[in-house]
Structure 1
Amino acid sequence: MLLATVLLNGFKSLVTSAMSSNKFNVVFVLGGPGAGKGTQCARIVAEYDFVHLSAGDLLRAEHQRENSKYGAIIDEYIKDGNIVPVAITCKLLEQAMQQSRSNKFLIDGFPRNQDNLDGWEKEMGDKTNILCVLFFDCPREVCVQRCLSRGAAGSGRADDNEKSLVKRLDTYMSCTMPIIEYYDKKNLVRKFDASPPADKIFAEVSKLFNSL
C-alpha cells in the first residue's frame, strides 16, 4: 500500500509538471490487437475529459477518404498486416490534435515499433509531453478470439481475420514490446491485465486517473 501511494504520488507530480506547459499532453495506449484499447479509451474519455485518437482509426479513415494521397499506400500495409510508414501516421495525429480544442490526448496503437518511436520523437518530440503509457497486457489466445468474434460480428475491418491476425500478433511481439520496455525503463508504463471483462479493467484504470 505504501509503495502504491508513493508511485501514484510520483505519477501525479510528473503529470502536473508536464501539463503546466503549452505542449500537447499525451498518454500512449499500447497492447496487442483485441486487448481492448479502444474500449478502455472510450471509458477514459467519458470520465476524464481526454480526446481519444486511434492511430489505426485515423489511418483507416484516411484510407477510405476520397482522393486521399495516402490511400493506396495505407491499403497495401493494412492488408499485409504491416505497419504504415511513420511519416503518414505522425502527420495524421498532428492534424487531429491541431483540430481539437483539447490539450489532453489518448493515442492508442502508437508507437508500434522503433521507426514509429524515432519518427514521433523527431516530428512531435518538441510539441508534446508524454504523461505515461497505458499497457493492456492480454494473452495471445484471448486477443485472437476477440478479434475473430469482432470480425464475425461485422466490424468492417479488413484485418479482423485469422491470416492477418497471425502477422499482427507476430509484429506486436517483435516490434511493439521493445517500445513498451523502452518506456518502462523511463518509469512511464502503467500495466493492466486486459483479460478480465471491460468493467473490471476500467476499475483498475480509474484508480490511476483518479490519482490525478
Structure 2
Amino acid sequence: MFRTVFQRAAAVKSAPRSSFKQAIPITRRHFTSDKPSSNGTPSIPAMLAVASMGFAAYYTLVKSREGQALPRRQQQKPDQQAKPTEIAQAQETTTIPAFTTDQVTVVFVLGGPGAGKGTQCDRLKKDYDFVHLSAGDLLREEQNREGSKYGELIKHYIKEGLIVPMEVTIALLEQAMRESMEKDHKYRFLIDGFPRKMDQALKFEEAVVPSKMVLYFECPEQVMLERLLKRGENSGRSDDNIESIKKRFRVFKETSFPVIEAFEKENKVKTVSCVKPVDEVYQEVRVVFDKMFEK
C-alpha cells in the first residue's frame, strides 16, 4: 500500500499541473452500501463510525506504550443476549479501596488554620494508639525532598494558600498509611487538615478507605489569626504570614467548610469548640473518642 502511495506521489510531482487528473485517476470510495450522494460526502453515521475506530486505535496505542495490558473483548455465547442495563453496568469502572474499615480506622480532623488540630492530635495518638498524619506536613516534606517531581508545584500552592492537587495529597497519605501498617503495625489514623474539598473526600474514600468520623475543631477567625501570627515568629513556615493566613481563611470558608456540612448530613461530624484552654478542649475530645471505642 505504501509503495503505491509513493509511486502516485512521484507521478504528481513529475506531471505538469494540467495533467494532474490524468496522472492520478481517483476512484471514490463510499463508507456505506447506499448509493453515493451527488457531492460524494459520506453520511454522518459513517463519519462517527470512522472517528470511533480512530479513537479506539489511539487508545490501544497509548496503553501499549505505557506498558499496560490491553483490554480484551469477552466473547459472548450466541444464546446469551446482554440486556441494556447489563451492558451499562459492565461499562462502569468500580474502584476497590486500598483498605477496608475492618482493617483501619480513619478520622478526618478538620478546622481552620490555627484551630489547634495538631496539639489535640498529639494527645490522641498517645492515649488511643493513633498515627497522626498531617496532610500539610507530608506536603512540606515532599516539597523539600531531593529529586521530588512535585516539589516546585507543592511549594507554589502552599505559598499562595491554594489547595494542592488531590492526586498528590492522596498518594502521600496512602503511602504513609502503608508504611505505618507494615513497620509499626498501627491501624488507626488521624488525618489532619484533609480533606479540604469535597472531591478530595470522595476520592479518598473511594480509593483508600471510608472514614469513621470527622472531628471538627470550631474556632473564631480572630483567635486563629492571633495564634498563627504568634507561631510564625518561630515556625519558619512560609505560610505563617498575614497575607497567606487571610488566603487560607478564605479557602477554608469557601471550599473546606462545605465538606463539614456534607458529612454532617451523614451524622459523621463531632464538633468541639477550641476557644477554651487546651486541657479543657481535650477533655471534650476524649468524650467523643471514648464513645466511639466504647471505653
Question: Residue in 2 aligned with 1:137?
Answer: 218
Partner secondary structure for residue 235 of structure 2: coil
Question: Residue in 1 aligned with 2:188?
Answer: 104
Opposite residue 141 of structure 1, the aligned amino acid is: Q
Structure 1 residues not aligned, in runs of 5+: 1-17
Q: In structure 1, how many angstroms separate the alpha carbons of the residues matched to 2:178 and 2:261?
A: 29
Q: In structure 2, how many angstroms separate the alpha carbons of the residues matched to 1:80 and 1:122?
A: 29
Asked if 1:168 corresponds to 2:248, the answer is: yes
Same amino acid, percent of matched pairs: 49
Opposite residue 192 of structure 1, the aligned amino acid is: V
Q: Deviations over 1:123-170 (max 9, x none)?
A: 22xxx2411000000000001000000001x11211010000110000
Query: Could you tell me the TM-score, scaled by structure 1's length?
Result: 0.86
Question: Residue in 2 aligned with 1:4?
Answer: none
Offset of 1:210 from its aligned partner? 1.9
Partner secondary structure for residue 93 of structure 1: helix
- For the 8 Å contact 2:205–2:211, the answer to whether it is kept is no
Pairs within 5 Å for 1:21-36 = 21-22=102-103, 24-36=104-116
Of structures 1 and 2, the one with the larger relative CO (CA 8 A, separation 6+) is 1
Offset of 1:195 from its aligned partner? 1.2
Q: In structure 2, how many angstroms separate the alpha carbons of the residues matched to 1:25 and 1:130?
A: 7
Partner secondary structure for residue 30 of structure 1: strand
- For the 8 Å contact 2:204–2:210, the answer to whether it is kept is no
Question: Residue in 2 aligned with 1:71?
Answer: 151
Offset of 1:70 from its aligned partner? 0.8
Q: 1:93 is matched with which residue: 163, 168, 173?
A: 173
- For the 8 Å contact 2:161–2:248, the answer to whether it is kept is yes
Pairs within 5 Å for 1:129-208 = 129-152=210-233, 154-208=234-288
- For the 8 Å contact 2:122–2:132, the answer to whether it is kept is yes
Q: In structure 1, how many angstroms separate the alpha carbons of the residues matched to 2:218 and 2:130?
A: 22
Partner secondary structure for residue 46 of structure 1: helix
Q: In structure 2, how many angstroms separate the alpha carbons of the residues matched to 1:36 and 1:74?
A: 23
Question: Residue in 1 aligned with 2:199?
Answer: 115
Offset of 1:92 from its aligned partner? 0.2
Q: In structure 2, how many angstroms separate the alpha carbons of the residues matched to 1:208 and 1:28?
A: 13
Offset of 1:55 from its aligned partner? 0.3
Q: Deviations over 1:109-128 (max 9, x none)?
A: 0000123223323422xxx2
- For the 8 Å contact 2:135–2:173, the answer to whether it is kept is yes
Partner secondary structure for residue 130 of structure 1: coil
Q: In structure 2, how many angstroms separate the alpha carbons of the residues matched to 1:121 and 1:208?
A: 22
Give the alignment's Cα RMSD to 1 decimal: 1.2
Q: Which moved more, 1:87-96 or 1:114-123?
A: 114-123
CA distance 1:85–1:95, change in 2 (3 Å): same
Offset of 1:175 from its aligned partner? 0.5
Query: Could you tell me the TM-score, scaled by structure 2's length?
Result: 0.62
Question: Residue in 1 aligned with 2:290?
Answer: 210
Q: In structure 2, how many angstroms separate the alpha carbons of the residues matched to 1:139 and 1:28?
A: 20
Partner secondary structure for residue 195 of structure 2: coil
Partner secondary structure for residue 189 of structure 2: strand
